[in-house]
Structure 1
Amino acid sequence: MANIKKGDLVQVISGPSQARGGDRGKQGKVIEVLVDQNRVIVEGVNYVTKHVKVGQTQRGAKTGGLETHEAPIHVSNVALVDPETKKPTRVGFREEKVTKDGVTKTVRVRYAKKSGKDL
């Protein structure tokens, strides 16, 4: 089971600080999870400039130039944000019994662990 999923709120926990032009400390929503590469794309984090060759659409409008978009960041460099405290936290799993249509199943559920500092 994955610790981080699409739509989660995460915080960058490594790299240069924002004072030095980096992204550490920024929070954003996960746009995409690249499972095979162990990377995630986070909204508003790790912007890169891409040079796109000039072309034309069928209407005659010019396309291309400089585009900025989010690049992937390694999953170990982000931490899930606890929805209650809005601070980065570790992820745990617990088994819960779920009853649906009279059938009881045991499923694994993610939860945000509490750290010693937050208590």
Structure 2
Amino acid sequence: MKTLEKSYTASFNEENGELHSSIAGLWSEDSIQEYFDAVNDSAVPLLKARKSIHAFVDFSGFVPQDRGTSEKIRDHLLASAKFGLKRIAIIGATPLMQMQYKRLSHGIEVSFKDNKLEALAWLRS
């Protein structure tokens, strides 16, 4: 069952040069910045190496966000694309979340998968 309590993880997978994160709950326009900061910090090794950014994200506990928070997500995705974000593999997204994210991530290759193994295989292909 999904909860509205906010939580996240963010890390750099050095072996494969990927960002891995998870996000859950309902966020506000202000609070979502905490997640963005963690993801940005995790991306530093890729930025320093001037490599493309490929990200794996677990949306299992994420719920559809309000318009203001969605716009912040879109803005972060657009900025991230300018810094090299190319691909995002997502698991755990409901059909509504998939529709919302597709609208927000214009210009970035996004794939929704059923499990982590499928998501990572696509991300690394």
Give the number of the structure whose residues are more often helix, by fraction.
Answer: 2
Structure number with bigger Rg? 1
The TM-score by the shorter chain falls in which range?
under 0.3
TM-score normalised over the length of structure 1: 0.24
Higher relative contact order (CA 8 A, sep 6+): 2
Give the number of the structure whose residues are more often strand, by fraction.
Answer: 1
